[in-house]
Amino acid sequence: MKNNYKPKNNIDTRIQKQEEKMYEDQVEGRNSVLELLESGKDINKIFVAKGEKHGSINKIISIAKEKRIIVVEKDKRQMEQMACNANYQGVIAIVPPYEYCEIEDILEEAKNKKEDPFMLVLDGIEDPHNLGSIIRTAETAGVHGIIIPKRRAASVNSTVNKVSAGAVEHMKIARVTNISDTLVKLKEEGLWVCGTDINTDKYYYNQDLTGALAVVIGNEGSGIGERVRKKCDFLVKIPMKGKVTSLNASVSAGIIIYETVKQRSIK
């Protein structure tokens, strides 16, 4: 689970910070911007490509006007310079930085729904596409919240928002300094911690996943870290029958999430 990358120099660090700043304050794509508008969250301004006044763009402009959000038209070249993704679909919303929640907010969400807490803990997911896919699956499955580390992992940005199809706006996400310490806190709150590890003997469908639960999904390459593994109450794996012995992190997360949903539904 260790990430051995170290910036080569101050230029690398500065570029990384500039990229994070660039990503964190804009949402791109028609569905993502519509989800953002309908969520009621703050939007500073919306930019629309000239000539793109058709289909869902009209709906975006209409809702923005109702909410008194400034809409600015720009030519295609200017929009392409602003966009972080090639497929921005002619619309970019400028928003305040994503507001992460606290772990207590996730627990409160479960309490308000009168459900056993169901959380995902992502131990070093680095690819924003994986993070976006996991958030989308988690939201559709009714996961109460997701916990991610502050360092050496993907954070919520425009790419994550777009891949999640706007699910980011409906999912509580907390950022923590130390994942292993966080697992101790969750256990003190009464949650069982389930880790995913190819080296265990138990398959996920043979494990009781009902009750208050936190599922840990590890890094795309190295899985969950040793310290995190030791904090888990039990470990499960997904059977691998082919020559390739690993799954995409978002696929693995989806399989475990929906096994949990299934067990809870027949409890």
Question: Does 113 share its domain with 90?
Answer: no
- Does residue 2 belong to any structural domain of this protein? no
Residues with Cβ within 8 Å of 42's Cβ and at least 6 positions away in sequence, in order, are: 95, 96
**Domains: count for the chain:** 2
Range of the domain at 42: 23-94
**CATH label of the domain that carries residue 44:** 3.30.1330.30
Asked if residue 6 belongs to a domain, the reply is no
Is residue 160 located within the same domain as residue 204? yes
Residues 86, 146 within the same domain: no
What gap in Å lies between CA 25 and CA 43, rounded to an integer? Answer: 10
Which amino acid, residue 92?
Answer: I
C-alpha dist (Å) from residue 42 to 56, 93, 124: 20, 10, 29
The predicted structure's pLDDT at residue 2: 36
Kindly report the pTM of this predicted structure: 0.73
pLDDT digit of tens for each residue in the chain (267 aa)?
334 444 444 444 444 444 344 434 788 889 889 988 988 878 889 999 988 677 889 999 999 999 999 999 999 999 998 888 788 899 999 988 788 999 999 999 999 999 999 999 999 899 999 999 999 999 999 999 999 998 889 988 878 888 898 899 899 999 999 999 999 999 999 999 999 998 899 999 999 999 999 999 998 888 899 999 999 999 999 998 877 767 789 999 999 999 999 999 987
Q: Give domain status of residue 126, yes or no.
A: yes
Is the same domain home to 181 and 125?
yes
